[in-house]
Amino acid sequence: MRKALLLLMMALVVTAGTAPAADAVQKPAKKTARKTVKKAKAIVYADYSKPESSGNTWGDEAKGCGAAFEKKGGRAVVTVKACAEGWGSGLTLWSSVDPFDAEGTTKIVVKMKATKGLRMVFSQDEKGCGPREATSFVGSNGADGERWDAVEVLGTGKVKEYTFKLADLKAAAGYGNQNGNKVLDLKGLGGCQFYFPVQGAGTMEVSSIKFQ
């Protein structure tokens, strides 16, 4: 009897020593739901691998400033003349859609290659944009003819995507409707511009312009 009791006590000790503690029991890991981040779809303003996109140049020719435009190798190729005085030169790039509707987007992305150090100022026009002394600015889709300027950027000598946030653009004081609604009217956009201040010669090759 005593021997049987001793064996029973030993069995209980072994069982207690091997059983896992209540707080040591591992609970099944909860599955974490993966969030899929949707990338904003780009709205193509101009693609220079296609025939529809076009452009034209302008400049202070009296002071020797100017630029030349041609479509070559699927790019808009702009050659900027060197000039030491005057107000410089520029380029207007047009979309095949007029007016251009970019409602719902937050930035403009220009893919291009420009001579290292080439100074460039990007601007976006609303429909109806013209000289500030114009007597009227007739836009469309709610646009009232303002021009919107970005900060100056520099060429790198390599292909690069230049991103201009729409919220950072400023209403131009030197061109366009000065009495507009001070809002970039995205449903009624016109041409976009690149202005080249007085500087040495350079080139710019634009592949595409997209709103995202």
Sign for the pseudo-dihedral over CA of 148, 151, 154, 159? negative
- Give yes or no for residue 24 having a pLDDT over 90: no
76 in Cβ contact with 56 (< 8 Å): no
pTM attached to this predicted model: 0.79
> Measuring CA to CA, which residue among 187, 165, 190, 162 is closest to residue 176?
190
Instruction: Write down all domains in the chain, each with its CATH number in brackets.
Output: 47-211 (2.60.120.430)
Per-residue model confidence as pLDDT tens digits over 136-175: 999 999 999 999 999 999 999 999 999 999 999 999 999 9
pLDDT recorded at residue 134? 96
- Give yes or no for residue 61 having a pLDDT over 60: yes
Rounded Cα distance, 90 and 191, in Å = 12
Place of tokens 């890991």: 29
| Apex 191 CA angle, 87 and 86, nearest 5 | 5
